[in-house]
A = this chain, B = another copy of it.
Amino acid sequence: MIIMKKDATPEQVQHVVDEVAKVGLRTDVSRGAYLTIIGLIGDETKADFTHLAALPGVKEARMIEAPYKLINREYSSAYGETGTRVVKIGDVELGGDEPVFIAGPCAVENHDDLFRIAEKCRAAGAQILRGGVFKPRSSVHSFQGLGSAGTEEAIEALTWLRDAGREFGMPVVTEVRGEAQVDLVSHYVDMIQIGARNMYDQDLLQTAARKKLPVMFKRHFGASIEEFLCFSEYIAAEGNKDIILCERGIVPLGKGKNFTRYMLDLAAVPVIQKETYLPIIVDPSHATGRRDLIRSMSLASIAAGAAGLMIEVHDRPEEARCDAAQMIQPSELKDIIDSARQLRKIAVK
C-alpha cells in the first residue's frame, strides 16, 4: 500500500505506478476525497517498499499483511470519520448513517405481481427493489427463474424489474448466476448480485466487476470470513470498490434438527467492519428460511451494526413459485423497517 501526500501530482502518482510495474505488479489507484492510495496487485514481496517510500509525492509505503489488501481497513483513512465506504446504488446511499432496506419477491414471476409487490415494499419504506430472474436452484427439476426459460423471457423479466423500479422510485438489483448473463443483466439493473453459491467463482466475479456497477456480494455458506474477504478482493482488483458484502448464513452443523435453513453468523458484521472499509448487510430471509424469524433476526442484524437488510416480501406467498415459507407480508416489512430505524440510533453511536 502506498499513501500519496495530499498535494501529490498526477505525474507523481503515475511515476509510482510505473515503478511498481517494473517488478511485474499491477496497481489499483484509489482517489478518495481525502487521500490517494495505491494498492498493489500480485505478490507484494517483490516490491521494494524502502525504494517506493522515497519516491516524490509518497507519504508512506508498506506491505499489508492480510491476504485481502485492496479492501483492507488500512485504507479507511480515505473514507472519512466512519471509515466505511458509502456505495451509491442509483441515488440510494448505502454505508452511511441510515440503514438501507432492499426488498421484493424471491423471483420475478409476472408483471402484475411484481408491480403490486414493489409498490407495497416502497410504501413500507424499502429503498431498493430485488427480484430474481436467474434463480440458483438445488434441483434441475425445479423452477429456475424466467431468465432460464430463454433469452426473450429473460429480457421480458428484466424489463419488468427495471420498469417497476422506475415506477416506484427504487433502484433495482438482481442476481447473475453465470458469466454469460452478466452482459445482458447489466443493461437493466442498478446493482449486480453475486449469490452465495457463486462466491468462489472468480471468473464471474471479474466479469461482473468490469461492468462498473455496484456489486452485492454474498458469503458462501461454507466459507470462513477470511475466504469471503479474499474473494471480494477479486472484484476490487478490477478497479471496482463499489462492493456491498452480505452475510446470509452458513451451513448448520450437529446431529438433529436445527430449525433454520442456515445459521446466521451475526458476529461477521462487526468483524467485517473491523477488517475492511466495505459496508456489510444481512439477508435474514435465506439465513433462516422461516417467516416467523425474520423480524427478530432483522433487528438483531441492525443492532449488530449492519448497514442494511435484504428481505424477501410477497403479499400472496402461497402463490409464489419459490421460497414461499420465508417471504413476509408488506405490513410486516413496514414494522421491521420502522423498528430497525429506531433501534439503529441506540445501537450505533
Establish whether residues A258 and B299, one from each chain, have CB atoms under 8 Å apart when the complex forms. no
A52 to B16, CA, bound (A): 56
Q: What B residues does A267 contact at CB under 8 A?
A: 259-260, 263-264, 287-288, 293, 296-297
Q: What B residues does A41 contact at CB under 8 A?
A: 140-141
Q: What B residues does A264 contact at CB under 8 A?
A: 265-267
A299 to B302, CA, bound (A): 9
Once A200-B136, A251-B254 are accepted as A-B contacts, the answer to whether A141 and B222 lie under 8 Å apart by CB is no
Quickly give the copy total for this chain: 4
A137 on interface, CB distance cutoff 8 Å:
yes
Q: What B residues does A139 contact at CB under 8 A?
A: 67, 230, 233
Q: What B residues does A260 contact at CB under 8 A?
A: 267, 271
A178 on interface, CB distance cutoff 8 Å:
yes
A303 on interface, CB distance cutoff 8 Å:
yes
Q: What B residues does A253 contact at CB under 8 A?
A: 222, 224, 250-253
A270 to B261, CA, bound (A): 14
Least Cβ–Cβ distance between A293 and chain B, in angstroms: 5
A272 to B28, CA, bound (A): 45
Interface string of A207-224 (1 = CB under 8 A from B): 100000000000011111
Interface string of A244-283 (1 = CB under 8 A from B): 0000001111111111111111110111001100000000
Q: What B residues does A200 contact at CB under 8 A?
A: 136, 197-198
A261 to B201, CA, bound (A): 20
Can you list 13 contacts pairing A with B, beta carbon distance less than 8 Å?
Answer: A136-B202, A140-B233, A140-B237, A178-B201, A197-B201, A225-B259, A250-B253, A264-B265, A266-B297, A270-B297, A271-B293, A296-B303, A296-B347
